[in-house]
Structure 1
């Protein structure tokens, strides 16, 4: 039995070690495109408005431009991709307000160590407060300065957009690097079902009955009947490293439509749970 359990655990943990096999989404521009902007600083670049026509156009064009951007600090084999040329172009996808907060030099430095970028996930995220919001995940080829070997890195985040006279521009972009060792060795908080049971069940005492998870590709839809009589619906996305990230929460009382909510268990429930546990 012990041997069988070890085999089962090993099989489960493989999802944390395997790289992504998803196709790249950022394939809109070819090599000859970059020659139009060679040697131009960001404030002398003017981009066509059709690149910003829809939020999806803005983001796919933005990541396509960055596909062959390189900030590795030099390689003995010569030029990598389109070298530094894409960065001033991509900087023009940021809104005016975002550029005031993030200088071009700071923007460029944020890509330190990256030699190639593949966008592997991109989708709209419901967000009633912050307007247009998208989730993304990307696969990068990265390297350490002074070392010849490169490696694959994975990161994800959320992007907010605003509409300016040129079209949709990026008003904020977050980035979180994925870890491939903590998930298989530590904790329940990498798994969507476990997160719901612990945070919303044990901490918040909100779960009366939890239903089987509905899976759609890399999405998980987790439903449960609440102790308050309402139905709850949580959406998670599974990253390349196997970790589930919460995307949205919804609640529905009888004869009502689904309404987006924002329960924060760490702030609203954990302290109360710890007090009860200690008493």
Structure 2
């Protein structure tokens, strides 16, 4: 009994309180000569080679690869860090013209203040297509603080929307949320996919006839249930480094053999105000 409890606690500790062990996905441009031609150019003097934005996935991976060793830090006693500020004007050109109008280059640069390294550790295309070309991503950052003088790993996640513009795909919007490692393990059911489905579609909507055990493949969690209305339901969640499950897509099959994006919102459709 004691050993079993220790194993359960070890699993819980690993899920909620340990950093990621995933390999970085943004490992392109490891040769620093890529940056040579951009060394003294401002963002408005840069034209990206078409091959960098050939596909939506290329755009995202190349964007984060260029930013991997970018560093927007205060003075460091050890000297320069990584590629310094050189990558930022290049990366800014991965944004669509419309997105650049909502965030000028100075604001873009300031958004990386204190960041000395970025690893892209999770990337998943949203399959339903209802919001255009969209990806879910998670990044690991090395963040440097001046006071106190210390560095730590931080994790963020969000969605990236892309559009085709001119000769390639550009980022039209980036959403980013910081991960919470202390509140999530101790409070609320909203961090757990199974609880989210049971509460929202079971307790609130009275829709679940039978929910099947979740299927986990890497950092992706799939949940199915059969509804009281005779339809089948399918949900996709991403498991974050902090153990939280984030829903990225949901589908309904009424028996016709085709899964269609679920348009139901339990928060609005099922709760009695």
Which TM bucket (shorter chain)?
over 0.9
1: CA distance, partners of 2:177 / 2:235: 21
Q: Secondary structure at the match of 1:189?
A: coil
Query: Retained in 2: the 8 A contact 1:230–1:253?
Result: yes
Structure 2 residue runs of 5 or longer lacking an equivalent are none
Verify: 1:122 aligned to 2:115, yes or no.
no
Match in the other structure for 1:26? 26
Q: Determine the structure 1 residue equivalent to 2:106.
A: 105
Report Cα offsets for 1:103-138 as digits up to 9, x if no partner.
111111111111000111112112433210011111
Q: CA RMSD, aligned part only?
A: 1.7
Alignment deviations for residues 12-37 of structure 1 (CA, whole Å, 9 cap, x no partner): 23311111111111111022222221
- Higher normalized helix content (fraction of residues): 1
Superposed CA deviations along residues 29-48 of structure 1, whole A, max 9, x for unmatched, are 02222222112110001111
**CA distance in structure 1 between the partners assigned to 2:18 and 2:46 by the alignment:** 40
Unaligned runs of 5+ in 1: none
Cα 1:3/1:266, change in 2 over 3 Å = farther
For residues 164-196 of structure 1, the C-alpha deviation after alignment (integer angstroms, 9 at most, x for no partner) is 112100001100111111121112211111111
1:152 alignment counterpart: 153
- Cα shift at 1:4: 6.2
Q: Distance in 1 between matches of 2:98 and 2:11?
A: 48
Q: CA deviation at 1:208?
A: 1.0
Superposition pairs of residues 122-271 of structure 1, within 5 angstroms: 122-270=123-271
Secondary structure (helix, strand or coil) at the match of 1:186 reads: coil
Q: Flag the 1:266–1:13 CA change in 2: closer, same or farther, 3 A.
A: farther
Shift of 1:214: 1.4
Looking at structure 2, the residues matched to 99 and 125 of structure 1 have their Cα atoms a distance apart, in angstroms, of 24
- Output aligned runs, 1:27-106, within 5 Å: 27-29=27-29, 30-106=31-107
| Alignment CA distance shift 1:56-1:75 (3 Å) | same
Equivalent residue number for residue 14 of structure 2 = 14
- Size of the aligned set, in residue pairs, is 272
C-alpha spacing 1:42/1:243, structure 2 compared with 1 (3 Å): same
Structure 1: 4+ residue segments shifted above 4 A: 1-7
- On the 8 A contact 1:49/1:167 being kept in 2, the answer is yes
Distance (whole Å) between structure 1 residues aligned to residue 229 and residue 130 of structure 2? 25
**TM-score scaled by structure 2?**
0.94
